[in-house]
Amino acid sequence: MNTIRTILTGAALTGALAAALAATPAQAATTPTTTSAATATASTASTASTATASYDRHGFGKIWSGYSDDEDRHDRSYFTGYWYSHNGYYYFKGDLFDRDRDNDHSYIDFQWHDDNGWHEKIYRGGRYGVSHFSGKFRKGGFDDFRIRVGEGTRGDYDWGQYRYLF
């Protein structure tokens, strides 16, 4: 998974560099040698990363946890990330943010539906700060996928609402 993360990071940085160069045509006219070299390097790196990563990423924004009566709304946990499919699998990557300091863990509940019904896998995050997640699920027969985030102690997670990703 580290190889995929490295490839995706390289592709993102290359894309950002190419976008920055395309957005500044006036600077390109004033410094032709430096910009031409940078453009050539960026296009070579972009071609290489495109050949290695030929799948589309589907990002999703913040998926929030619920909160109990004694908590402030701003203390909720959330998950943000992206998914993609490759070689018969769905891959999910993202970051789980736990924003309060109450020593309760944050959780991500992945649920998917296939020909055999609903299935579930729950991941536990940290007690404060950011936890990085990656999950791999076989594609066979998927027709629905949803995620929810919770925070708390076992049995009382303050689950947020489900977010459907497909």
Q: Residues 74-109: pLDDT tens digits?
A: 778 899 999 998 888 888 899 999 988 788 889 999
Q: What pLDDT does residue 143 have? A: 83
Instruction: Give the pLDDT mean for 107-122.
Output: 89
DSSP alpha helix (H) spans, 32-165: 32-52
Determine which of 22-26, 54-58, 66-70 has the lowest per-residue pLDDT on average. 22-26
Please say if the pLDDT value at position 126 is more than 90.
Answer: no
- pTM here? 0.62
Query: Comparing 82 with 139, which gets the higher pLDDT?
Result: 82
Give the gyration radius of the chain's Cα atoms.
20
Alpha-carbon span 50 to 44, nearest angstrom? 10
4 within 8 A of 89, measured Cβ to Cβ:
no
